[in-house]
Amino acid sequence: MSTVLVVTNFSAAARNALSYTCSLLQNTQARLVLMNIYDFPGNMTGDAIAVAAMGQIIEHDATLLEQEYQWVQTNYPSIQMDTEMVTGIFQEELLRKVVESNAVLVVMGTDGNYTNLLSWNSNIIESFIDLPVPMLVIPAQVQFRPINKIAFACNYYRKNLQVPVSVIRKLVGFTHASLYVINVVAPQELITDEALHNKHILQESLADLTPVYFEPEFSNVIKAIDDFTSEENIDMLLVIPTRHGIWHNIFQKSHTKGLVYLNHIPLLSVRQQEEFIQ
């Protein structure tokens, strides 16, 4: 049975992400763990009054977590779900739970200014880039709908493009969606023999899925993907996030101009993973 972690801070965006996840998985054997992480401020440890106040906050949040559990039981009775509340450093506690539960997917909701991806808070950004398992980010205004079109944005200059293929294949098999592959190399960079070799390996790995390959001419990489996902009515965008390169730079304000549609569809980080959803 696959375990999926849904992280909540009890916001409307978190509830929407929970609803999206339940709708996506309600006919599967997946087990959901709804997790709240109270990021404990280290400078409070010696302050008795602050610690007491924190205890009240945790007690209040435990009540909210139970309410979320009851909401799922009422609206999605077929979903198998547990809850967990922890205190500590957000990234450390989330990674601990991923490893402990052998989770195959982490889901978070994001809200804020929907005109660009800078509305993501630091916990979402760090998790999206660093977690060793796929992470799905659901914008607050995105309601669940059947996933009919999936796009994989990749860079042919990157080695090991076949690494996330297992996740892509399982996701396409699970959703029965059409697959699109878009190359995100700027036009001034000529496609080298190495890039063509990487592309060939990727195409061989995905051949039986009969994807549509898209290599547009553009001056702005992110805007090209933005326009493509909008024009093709893409239901989910897959990327390989890294600490260096385009998917890191978009969070460092170097590629944010023109970002509109990318924050209007679910965004999934893809990594090598033996299973996805069963």
Read out DSSP for the chain? Answer: --EEEEE--SSHHHHHHHHHHHHHHTTS--EEEEEEEEE--GGGTT-HHHHHHHHHHHHHHHHHHHHHHHHHHHH-TT-EEEEEEEEE-HHHHHHHHHHHHT-SEEEEEE-S-TTSGGGS-HHHHHHHHH-SS-EEEEETT-------EEEEEE-TTSS-TTTTHHHHHHHHHHHT-EEEEEE---TTS---HHHHHHHHHHHHHHGGG-PEEE----S-HHHHHHHHHHHTT-SEEEE---SSSHHHHGGGTSS-TT--GGGGS-EEE----S----
Read off the pLDDT band of 94 (50, 70, 90): very high
In this prediction, residue 185 carries a pLDDT of: 62
- Of the ranges 84-98, 118-132, 246-260, which is most confident? 84-98
In this prediction, residue 216 carries a pLDDT of: 76
In this prediction, residue 193 carries a pLDDT of: 83
Residue 261 has pLDDT above 90, yes or no: no
Q: What is the mean pLDDT of the chain?
A: 81
Residues 136, 142, 145, 146, CA torsion sign: negative
- pLDDT (mean) for 37-54: 60
Measured distance CA(251)–CA(239) in Å, rounded: 14
Residue 116 has pLDDT above 80, yes or no: no
In this prediction, residue 175 carries a pLDDT of: 94
Measured distance CA(232)–CA(227) in Å, rounded: 8
pLDDT one-digit tens code per residue, 225-256 = 888 888 999 999 998 877 665 555 555 544 44
Nearest to 17 by CA among 3, 1, 5, 31: 5
Q: What percent of the chain has pLDDT over 70?
A: 76
In this prediction, residue 239 carries a pLDDT of: 87
Measured distance CA(40)–CA(151) in Å, rounded: 38
Read off the pLDDT band of 128 (50, 70, 90): confident
Residue 114 has pLDDT above 80, yes or no: no
In this prediction, residue 250 carries a pLDDT of: 54
Model confidence, pTM: 0.86
Q: How many CB atoms lie within 10 A of CB 175?
A: 18
Residue 166 has pLDDT above 90, yes or no: no
In this prediction, residue 188 carries a pLDDT of: 59
Enter the tokens of residue 149: 């079109």
User: Which comes out higher in pLDDT, residue 188 or 252?
Assistant: 188
Measured distance CA(254)–CA(247) in Å, rounded: 10
Q: Give the chain's radius of gyration (CA, Å).
A: 20
